[in-house]
A and B are shown apart, each in its own frame.
Chain A
Amino acid sequence: MAECGASGSGSSGDSLDKSITLPPDEIFRNLENAKRFAIDIGGSLTKLAYYSTVQHKVARVRSFESSGRDTEQDHEPPYEISVQEEVTARLHFVKFENTYIEACLDFIKDHLVNTETKVIQATGGGAYKFKDLIEEKLRLKVDKEDVMTCLIKGCNFVLRNIPHEAFAYQKDSDPEFRFQTNHPDIFPYLLVNIGSGVSIVKVETEDRFEWVGGSSIGGGTFWGLGALLTKTKKFDELLHLASKGQHTSVDMLVQDVYGGAHQTLGLSGDLIASSFGKSAAADKEFSKEDMAKSLLHMISNDIGQLACLYAKLHCLDRVYFGGFFIRGHPVTMRTITYSINFFSKGEVQALFLRHEGYLGAIGAFLKGAEQDNPNQYSWGENYAGSSGLMSSSPELCPTQRFDLLEMDRLERPLANLPLLLDPSSYVPDTVDLTDDALARKYWLTCFEEALDGVVKRAVASQPGSVDAAERAEKFRQKYWRKLQTLRHQPFAYGTLTVRSLLDTREHCLNEFNFPDPYSKVKQKENGVALKCFPRVIRCLDALGWEERQLALVKGLLAGNVFDWGAKAVSDVLESDPQFGFEEAKSKLQDNSGIDVILGVFPFVRELLSRGTEVILACNSGPALNDVTYCESLIVAERIAAMDPVVHSALKEERLLLMQTGSSSPCLDLSRLDKGLAVLVRERGADLVVIEGMGRAVHTNYYAALRCESLKLAVIKNSWLAERLGGRLFSVIFKYEVPAE
């Protein structure tokens, strides 16, 4: 923890908290490489954005030079692995209270090594107020950007790049957040920004938006009128008052007008007939709480009504709400949602954004980075470096004063699998752990228990490194904290799923430079499996057609058994020698090699033999012991050298190796490598085979495709097996033909 801004500069702003300490490792990360700054200063919060580069260690695989090597020798690995430094781009966003602004600017000044940057994009109401301070501290010229343009640019960016960005708020569900599947086409939508007033903007394309209307009754009205009525000065305190109040003592309800008759008339007596209608009595006293509540209802209802009217007029059913009135406040999300449901009779949905507070900063940043054309890239939320939703909410975490968002620039753009039946309703994940408390408890515990093993594996994967143990320990702490956060706030990063838990772990491992803990294991396994390949092929070819098909499928599934942490598998293998897959057991001890080389390739080869063109897609980046695209290239090359079928198919491009764009044991078919998506369309793929528990059970189990599909996996988890109504090691073999 470095002390920051503690040295009093005497005359500087009186409201600044001089004693704050900034933990630099955690907050302004990668500042040394930072360039391109943008800042959004609102009424109470400042959001700082910068672009930086991150150096990662990556495990690269490379074929040995084939000259003069006898690869058939037993002790030789099939390829070499080298750990290299890779530089990737990352966007950092930091949100903090305005009182820390000077301390933060000092900190940035002290740590900013790169001085190429000359300009800082600024937006928000406070950009004017703090212009001189920023220019003085950072010696950067402040370029002011239009607030609404920034907001919309930011909104488009998060909707496009962050899965589960938008959510609906449901009062009676636990948790109250319902995350939305990202719509493949984010336009058109209505953005209702509730700042001091209300702006209603119709967004039609990336660059086309129109201010369609607004209202002067907004957050400023709640705050200003609330301050007059209750003598309470702070916005948050007013909201707190409102959350404790009863509006019925202040508002005139339908039952106050109709008496008891509202029931016989079928009217809801609780509806507000006249806001503050009961306060028209000079001699009556009302509690602060009740008045604040009535005011909140009045304003939320009014905004909701106008939003519905505008949505209806412009035929839009997606309405996103933002602005400080909403910002992370469950009270306002609840009242706005109620109002929208009431006035639209359910036809319009009120949606909120996880990163709503960052929209302006993101937009301002994008404005400044236009020459780099950041929108040509796909980006991904880095779970390791991002605080979750509500992290800075005072009720949930009183000590957390900084909120972070980090976005990694992906090397390749992503796109939908063109074969999805309905991209807008596609949900990758099979079980929503946000929703399913039992499953959530099970999986969180499961990941906690597996953590020791992962740490060990990480350390073991870098035997030459002096600080591996230390880094692994940091990884453990970080991931443990994430798991604890998710226990209490399962909604923190969108819908909680097995996939998100796995991805978070990968992000945390990468964070501490454990890019591919399984690379050596995979290398060894692949070497062994390659040696078995010719024999396996010979055996298969000796079988009749029908038997061969069965054997191929068994092979696919057998490889799948030997997966990460599948302790159950080794237990069974130890105790029951009769347990199938004899070949696997007798020859090999772990996965990857079997899976891809002895399971997938023979299957692919069979398809090729019967004249089917095959696209074989593997992960772009490492995840557990899954084969990566780079590894698959080498493996294919080695197999081609042994097998004429694969050889000619590769040569004639009847077998194409592609990358999925994913670095996860699971697969989101709405975020696939664009090259793969294009190829699938061009080649007119008519069968999709998805293999493995991560890709075919944790995700895509219910995925509906426009073509035939085959999902196969072995259930290696007894809890999940029971859940699905089967037993441990039951086989999922799901062949689906789309309905005509």
Chain B
Amino acid sequence: MGAGRLGVPMERHGRAADTYASAGEPAPEGPDGRRRELLRRRASSASEPPVGSSASASAEGIRRNRPGSYSGAPSASRQRVESLRKKRQLFPWFGLDIGGTLVKLVYFEPKDITAEEEEEEVESLKSIRKYLTSNVAYGSTGIRDVHLELKDLTLCGRKGNLHFIRFPTHDMPAFIQMGRDKNFSSLHTVFCATGGGAYKFEQDFLTIGDLQLCKLDELDCLIKGILYIDSVGFNGRSQCYYFENPADAEKCQKLPFDLKNPYPLLLVNIGSGVSILAVYSKDNYKRVTGTSLGGGTFFGLCCLLTGCSTFEEALEMASRGDSTKVDKLVRDIYGGDYERFGLPGWAVASSFGNMISKEKREAVSKEDLARATLITITNNIGSIARMCALNEGYFGAVGALLELLKIP
């Protein structure tokens, strides 16, 4: 099973709002509406003019960072604050996905901070911004994927860069401790988190970090995230791509894929495990199935087989190995193609099948093993995804056409 939702609806927005409200947030309207607004706007914020000027809006935002600023009597100013609050959340803007193996942290770094804002920015907020943006590694395991950074993004009326940071889930306690040390709770920001860890670590966030998580359904988030990322593009290029002639090393090339009319689509989310979703529209989807053979399996087996310690190392080894020494190919069994079933000789007949022989076990390198592990897992995911697509009917029509063409 993938680590994603297992066919059972997870907590929905309504419930998340309840828990949030009970934590004593003074806002008259729960965060639910706000967040929904935020999410609704995500795709169109670039073209849609924000309420009021960018500068004044942010000024209001900053002001709200200060606790106690609500305490005045109801006024026109207060009302304006409230209306703006509905549109925008306080800085810092984080999104957190706590998976089985990795924590993915997305951080929006505002680049349009005015001098006034900067002056009023609380110290802890500033230090977070500086810490995250000036480093590419955090502690011994946190990594900022600089190559993924989305620059000059307009998000909810603010211009800035979107940073992608990850660290292993087993360092989550240290992260929460850091939040406590840096006094995150004083920022009164909303920590929107998804993934199984949002549940697993919820209590730790609250008791250790004094932080109330806003838990979000991970499949909802996944689909929203994909559609958003695709809508903003990748620094001017398409986010979605595919490989043409994948089986031919020379002709194989990476080409952009237009997601203009994406539905229906099959979404295969490969985390530690794999979740497969059929998406019919932006808010209509179902989890089709999943498999436990995912990224965690690749990494876990590589650790056992090669003694590697990082995912990168495992991938790097795999890139240098030769899986055909490890796997038993069709040609190893039949001497060539198995024509009866139309199987080419180079196809893998048995993953790790050659490893039943002592001589062959002694002849393979760690790189070969890493490569074979990668091929095993990826082929399997591909195979299951294809079957799901067929069963969901996307390719059914194509299959029917092919049947028609078979008829003489």
Within 8 A of B (CB), among A162-196: 195-196
Evaluate whether A271 and B293 lie within 8 angstroms (CB atoms) in the complex, with A197-B353, A224-B354, A305-B384 already known: no
Question: Given the complex, which residues of A lie within 8 Å of B101, measured CB to CB?
Answer: 252, 274, 277, 280
Which of A199, A217, A286, A298 counts the most B-chain CB atoms under 10 A from its CB? A217
Question: Do the beta carbons of B304 and A286 come within 8 Å of each other?
Answer: yes
CB distance from B205 to the nearest CB of A (A): 12
A291's contact among B99, B304, B311, by CB below 8 Å, is which?
Answer: B304
Evaluate whether A258 and B199 lie within 8 angstroms (CB atoms) in the complex, with A196-B349, A282-B309, A309-B387 already known: yes
Bound form: Cα–Cα A619–B370 in Å: 66
Question: Do the beta carbons of B305 and A229 come within 8 Å of each other?
Answer: yes
Question: Do the beta carbons of A216 and B199 come within 8 Å of each other?
Answer: no
Within 8 A of A (CB), among B291-305: 291-297, 299-301, 303-305
Residue of A nearest to B290 (CB): A273
From A92-100, A261-269, A409-417, A686-694, the one touching the partner chain is: A261-269
Question: Do the beta carbons of A228 and B100 come within 8 Å of each other?
Answer: no
Evaluate whether A257 and B200 lie within 8 angstroms (CB atoms) in the complex, with A227-B361, A268-B6, A278-B300 already known: yes
Please count how many residues in chain B sit with their CB below 8 Å of the partner chain's CB atoms.
69
Interface size class of A (residues with CB under 8 A): 35 or more
Residue of A nearest to B310 (CB): A282
**Does A736 interact with chain B (Cβ within 8 Å)?**
no
Question: Do the beta carbons of B200 and A279 come within 8 Å of each other?
Answer: no
B356's contact among A220, A258, A282, A306, by CB below 8 Å, is which?
Answer: A220
Bound form: Cα–Cα A274–B271 in Å: 9
Bound form: Cα–Cα A256–B292 in Å: 13
Question: Do the beta carbons of A306 and B297 come within 8 Å of each other?
Answer: no
Question: Do the beta carbons of A228 and B376 come within 8 Å of each other?
Answer: no
A60-98 interface mask toward B, CB cutoff 8 Å, 1 = contact, 0 = none? 000000000000000000000000000000000000000
CB distance from B295 to the nearest CB of A (A): 8
Bound form: Cα–Cα A250–B170 in Å: 15
Please count the residue pairs between chain A and chain B whose beta carbons lie under 8 angstroms apart in the complex: 224
Residue of A nearest to B7 (CB): A267
**Does A612 interact with chain B (Cβ within 8 Å)?**
no
Question: Do the beta carbons of A309 and B388 come within 8 Å of each other?
Answer: yes
Residue of B nearest to A282 (CB): B309
Within 8 A of A (CB), among B279-323: 289, 291-297, 299-301, 303-305, 307-309, 311
**Does B196 interact with chain A (Cβ within 8 Å)?**
yes
Question: Do the beta carbons of A148 and B351 come within 8 Å of each other?
Answer: no
Evaluate whether A309 and B199 lie within 8 angstroms (CB atoms) in the complex, with A224-B353, A265-B11, A273-B273 already known: no
Bound form: Cα–Cα A149–B297 in Å: 35
**Does A393 interact with chain B (Cβ within 8 Å)?**
no
**Does B253 interact with chain A (Cβ within 8 Å)?**
no
Bound form: Cα–Cα A233–B101 in Å: 32
A638-674 interface mask toward B, CB cutoff 8 Å, 1 = contact, 0 = none? 0000000000000000000000000000000000000
Question: Do the beta carbons of B200 and A281 come within 8 Å of each other?
Answer: no
Question: Do the beta carbons of B196 and A257 come within 8 Å of each other?
Answer: yes
B176-198 interface mask toward A, CB cutoff 8 Å, 1 = contact, 0 = none? 00000000000000000001110
**Does B401 interact with chain A (Cβ within 8 Å)?**
no
Residue of A nearest to B342 (CB): A211
Evaluate whether A224 and B199 lie within 8 angstroms (CB atoms) in the complex, with A197-B328, A279-B300 already known: no
Question: Given the complex, which residues of A lie within 8 Å of B379, measured CB to CB?
Answer: 216
B352's contact among A220, A259, A271, by CB below 8 Å, is which?
Answer: A220
Question: Given the complex, which residues of B lie within 8 Å of A154, measured CB to CB?
Answer: none
A529-565 interface mask toward B, CB cutoff 8 Å, 1 = contact, 0 = none? 0000000000000000000000000000000000000
**Does A237 interact with chain B (Cβ within 8 Å)?**
no
Residue of B nearest to A228 (CB): B355
CB distance from A217 to the nearest CB of B (A): 5
Question: Do the beta carbons of B352 and A257 come within 8 Å of each other?
Answer: no
Evaluate whether A302 and B1 lie within 8 angstroms (CB atoms) in the complex, with A220-B352, A233-B358, A252-B296 already known: no
Bound form: Cα–Cα A313–B200 in Å: 37
Question: Do the beta carbons of A280 and B383 come within 8 Å of each other?
Answer: no
Bound form: Cα–Cα A232–B358 in Å: 11
B1-19 interface mask toward A, CB cutoff 8 Å, 1 = contact, 0 = none? 1110010101100000000
Bound form: Cα–Cα A298–B292 in Å: 7
**Does A738 interact with chain B (Cβ within 8 Å)?**
no
Evaluate whether A256 and B307 lie within 8 angstroms (CB atoms) in the complex, with A228-B355, A274-B3 already known: no
Question: Given the complex, which residues of A lie within 8 Å of B326, measured CB to CB?
Answer: 224
Residue of B nearest to A294 (CB): B300
Question: Do the beta carbons of A306 and B200 come within 8 Å of each other?
Answer: no
**Does A368 interact with chain B (Cβ within 8 Å)?**
no
CB distance from B142 to the nearest CB of A (A): 17
Question: Given the complex, which residues of B lie within 8 Å of A223, measured CB to CB?
Answer: 352-353, 355-356
Within 8 A of B (CB), among A289-306: 291, 298, 301-302, 305-306
B350's contact among A224, A262, A305, by CB below 8 Å, is which?
Answer: A224
**Does A221 interact with chain B (Cβ within 8 Å)?**
yes
Question: Do the beta carbons of A261 and B202 come within 8 Å of each other?
Answer: yes
Residue of A nearest to B309 (CB): A282
CB distance from B278 to the nearest CB of A (A): 13
**Does A606 interact with chain B (Cβ within 8 Å)?**
no
Question: Do the beta carbons of B1 and A271 come within 8 Å of each other?
Answer: yes
Evaluate whether A259 and B301 lie within 8 angstroms (CB atoms) in the complex, with A228-B355, A305-B384 already known: no
Within 8 A of A (CB), among B85-119: 99-101
Question: Do the beta carbons of A273 and B199 come within 8 Å of each other?
Answer: no
Question: Given the complex, which residues of A lie within 8 Å of B355, measured CB to CB?
Answer: 223-225, 227-228
Question: Given the complex, which residues of A lie within 8 Å of B353, measured CB to CB?
Answer: 196-197, 216, 218, 220-221, 223-224
A148's contact among B8, B341, B350, by CB below 8 Å, is which?
Answer: B341
CB distance from B368 to the nearest CB of A (A): 11
Evaluate whether A313 and B11 lie within 8 angstroms (CB atoms) in the complex, with A228-B361, A275-B296, A305-B289 already known: no
**Does B333 interact with chain A (Cβ within 8 Å)?**
yes
Residue of B nearest to A199 (CB): B341
Which of A148, A197, A266 counts the most B-chain CB atoms under 10 A from its CB? A197
**Does B348 interact with chain A (Cβ within 8 Å)?**
yes
Residue of B nearest to A258 (CB): B196
Evaluate whether A276 and B304 lie within 8 angstroms (CB atoms) in the complex, with A146-B340, A220-B328, A298-B297 already known: yes
The 7 closest A-B pairs by CB, nearest first: A259-B200, A224-B355, A274-B296, A261-B199, A220-B350, A220-B353, A257-B196
A-B contact pairs, 10 of them (CB 8 A): A221-B353, A223-B353, A254-B1, A259-B196, A259-B201, A271-B1, A272-B273, A273-B292, A277-B297, A282-B308
